[in-house]
Amino acid sequence: MGSYLNVWEPVLVNKSNRPVLADGEYNILIRDNMGLYQGKSKILGRQNGRIYLTNKRIIYFDNDTNANCMALPLSIVSNCEIIEGFFRSSPKLKIHIRSSNESNDLSKSNSETNGTFPSTNGIGSKVNIINWACKICSYNNQISSNFDFEENDVPKCVSCGIRPNKQYLMKLLEEATRKNSINDKDQTIPDNNGGDNNSPTIVDSTAMIIEDSSNHQLIERRDDQCPTCTFINHPSMKYCELCGTELKTSLPPSLQSKLSNNVSNVSIISKDTDITNNPLRLKIETSEEIYTNNKPYIKLSFRKGGYLEFNQKLIEILDELKWDSLKNKGVINQNSIKQQTPKLRKESLRGPGIHGLELQGEHQRKTNEIILSNTLDDLEQLMFKYQDVLKLSDSFVRFVRPQVNSSKYTVSTSVIPPLLIKKSSTLYLQELSRHISEYSINFELTKASSMITTEELFANYNRYLVSTQGFGTELIEPNDFNKSIELFEELNLPIKLKRYEASGLVVISQRSSTDSYQNFILKCINSFEYEFRYNKLKNIELGLGNDQILSNEYNFFKGLTISQLTDQLEWSYNVTVQEVETCVNNGSIVIDQSIAGTFYHINKFSSNYEDPIDETKLIEKIKQEILNEQNNITNTLKSQYDQENSGNLINVKPDYTFGIGRITQLVNQDTGGNGSELESFRNTPDPSLHSQYESLNDLQGLTFE
């Protein structure tokens, strides 16, 4: 018996202690106070957690340590059954897992559903997938061997969309069927050998067929030869090393399963080191996994009840999954005819006596019944219409949403999965709390310093719900909101409530930053002061110290007003007022009140205050920067000049000096000595102008008499 601890997958967890869901995955049910069993024994460290049932996985979320979270994909679950509680043992849900062979087969069949039509027509006829290479683009297309050329068109190439020659396809099909009939005889032998306990017990017919067909194709070739490119691979390879085609091992399935069993047996011995068998390093109570009937299963223990609904939902999902896989194979609704409802014929009921009256009464009841059922049908129709309307409204969401926010939210919709949990659930508030935390961390509390009042968050959160989930969403009620934000502390979420005693204001902020608001204010003021002094010194350095306007502007550092701080820190005004007040009260900042208003400064009164800005260093720095700036300006001017003049034949000379140069030029012109001027061009070192010299060079040899 192999180890089945490898069925568990790791789960990504977000900051707000919710699992990160995959695309198209959504929560269906959540249960708290759950424990996990592998077979008959408890899995250690997984005895107190929440179980999220999604449409793809069963996610165990540990309440104590996030690292202990894990998930079971539903694709490998075969079915489930309830074990009722007995005295002190809580009710459990037993979830059977497909043994590894089965699950592999299933996934394989899912991936290759493309051209497979399982044997619904008759048990004897076997269907294979045959590869055909497109003659245009050489893409390997697939076609099933029972393809009917008379009913269907010749299929197009999936890659380039060009139809192949019909004869070519038919020939391929013929060849394939011939091979099939030969191999059919051999086929029975390995299957029988496949034997008692190792051969899969409940196997889809499709899966079997594909495995069969793989065996047929391979018997022709060498065992380890790639069917596509004929490269001879190592026998243990699963995919061709050259072209990536899947290889079909020639080993009979019994041998294969034995091989894999051997591997897993070995791994049980060296349990700690084996990663493939137990990737999450789970430890269970007993030293080995024990299963009744030697079938792998896990158990969910419902410490606080609620197992009936869970079971029901799980079965629903499993059915849905099976139905989906059937649908994917395309076996549903084949050749189905819509049933016509028989028309009701009106009877005229008229008879004498009591019998007639009874008949009339009965008739009346019948019509009533029909009317009632019709109305119910209509109601149902209405509900469907309602859902259609919802979908429609969802499609308009992007128009409704304000333009400014659109960029903010479009990124987001995929980030936070919507909250799908019923209000009646006991976990509703907790989940809501987590969801709010997730939202606020992603959108509202983006900076370490940011915080938001509860009122604002409430409004924004509801707006967000509408804009991402359409108008059909239920908005959060203030009561629920208030209760759920109280839970931040209890759930150990990364955000935190903060109350201001003076005004009764409640704000939400990131937990990490709550103690250092004062620092944000101080930093902000300091940076402004630094900037101010920097500019002032720079002006002085630039010789603008005497400028009337500038010297007025940079006379002294005026400090910051509340509104400036609000702007800088992205807090709401109320919050800033509160925070500044606390800062003033604890003495870190001081007030300057004048006619112009109230300004806030860093406290420089205390005797141990040291100026953080070293002016001499600052001056050095400014001098350097001014130098660099001026260098830059000169360089850009120069390059601009060069650029402009490179296209101009007259001005080719970049280091042209008026004065002497001009005189010599004039002299040369007087004497008709055009050649010497060109000579001087040739001495200019600028290579970008070289081509022009070349063109002028033709004239160089000319002499003028």
Partner 1 sequence: MTTEFVFPKIHTFPPLYTEQPNSTILSNQLDSWCQIILQYCEFYKITSLNRNGTPKYSQIESLSIDSLPPIFENKSINRSTNDNFRNVIIHHLIYKLKKAQYIDPKKPELGIYVYWRSLVEWGQLLYDYVDSTGQLGTVLTLYELTKSDESGLPDSLKNLDEGLLIKIVKDYLIKQGKAQILMNEDNEIGGVKIV
Assess 546 for contact with partner 1 (CB under 8 A): no
- Which among 278-286, 313-321, 476-484, 586-594 is the span making contact with partner 1, rule CB under 8 A? 586-594
The residue range among 65-73, 531-539, 549-557, 663-671 that interacts with partner 1, by the rule CB under 8 A, is: 549-557
- Tell which one of 161, 195, 478, 587 touches partner 1 (CB under 8 A): 587
- Is 553 a binder of partner 1 (CB under 8 A)? no
Q: Is position 594 an interface residue for partner 1 (rule: CB under 8 A)?
A: yes
Q: Pick between residue 519 and residue 603 the one whose CB is nearest to partner 1.
A: 603
Q: Applying CB under 8 A, which part among 531-539, 596-604, 616-624, 675-683 lies near partner 1?
A: 596-604
Length of the chain: 705
Min separation Cβ 552 and partner 1, Å = 10
Structure tokens at 284: 């269970």
Task: Give start and end residues of each alpha helix (H) in 401-500.
Answer: 403-410, 428-439, 454-469, 478-486
Specify the DSSP element, H or E, that contains 583: helix 573-586
- Residue 357 found at the interface with partner 1 (CB under 8 A): no
* Contact flag: residue 610 with partner 1 (CB under 8 A): no
Q: Applying CB under 8 A, which part among 6-14, 457-465, 598-606, 678-686 lies near partner 1?
A: 598-606
If one counts every other C-beta atom within 10 angstroms of the C-beta of residue 186, the result is: 11
The beta-carbon contacts of 264-271 under 8 Å, at least 24 apart in sequence, are 264/2, 264/3, 265/2, 267/3, 268/2, 268/3, 271/3
Contact 508, 451 (CB under 8 A): yes
Draw the binding track, 623-642, toward partner 1 (x: CB under 8 A; -: no contact): --------------------
Distance CA 43, CA 46 (A): 6
Which one, 245 or 519, has the nearer CB to partner 1? 519
CB 532 to partner 1: min, Å: 13
From candidates 309, 378, 486, 592, binder to partner 1 by CB under 8 A:
592
The reply on whether position 229 binds partner 1 by CB under 8 A is no
Residue 607 contacts partner 1 per CB under 8 A: yes
Nearest 5°: phi and psi at 210? -65, -40
Residues 481-510 within binding reach of partner 1 (CB under 8 A): none
Instruction: Considering the complex, state which of residue 251 and residue 584 has its C-beta at the smaller distance from partner 1.
Output: 584
Q: Does 335 bind partner 1 (CB under 8 A)?
A: no
Beta strands in 563-626 (DSSP E): 589-594, 597-602
Going from the C-alpha of 211 to that of each of 202, 206, 236, 337, 552, the distances in angstroms are 15, 9, 17, 34, 88
**Pair of tokens at residue 473:** 């969403």
Q: Which residues, 526 to 545, sit near partner 1 by CB under 8 A?
A: none
Q: 8: burial class by Cβ within 10 Å (0-12, 13-18, 19+)?
A: buried
Q: Which of 228, 469, 514, 603 binds partner 1 (CB under 8 A)?
A: 603
Give the containing element (helix H, strand E) for 221. Answer: none
* Interaction between residue 524 and partner 1 (CB under 8 A): no
Site residue total, partner 1 (CB under 8 A): 21
599 binds partner 1 (CB under 8 A): yes
When asked if residue 548 is in the footprint of partner 1 (CB under 8 A), the reply is no
The span from the CA of 244 to the CA of 228, in Å, is 9
Burial 437-449, CB ≥16 within 10 A → b, else e: bbbbbbbbbeeeb
Q: Which residue shows structure tokens 């940079």?
A: 554
CB 296, CB 99: distance < 8 Å: yes
The minimum distance between CB 580 and partner 1, in angstroms, equals 12
Query: 592 vs 629, which CB is nearer to partner 1?
Result: 592
Cα–Cα distance, 115 to 247 (Å, whole number): 19
Out of 40, 401, 498, 558, name the contact with partner 1 by CB under 8 A: 558
The answer to whether residue 593 forms part of the interface with partner 1 (CB under 8 A) is: yes
- Residue 403 near partner 1 by CB under 8 A: no
Q: Does 590 bind partner 1 (CB under 8 A)?
A: yes
Residue 601 in the binding site for partner 1 (CB under 8 A): yes
Structure tokens at 515: 């103690």
Q: Are 156 and 217 in contact (CB under 8 A)?
A: no
CA 660/CA 654 separation, integer angstroms: 15
What is the token pair recorded at 317? 């999902």
Chain contacts with partner 1 (rule: CB under 8 A): 555-559, 584-587, 590-594, 599, 601, 603-607
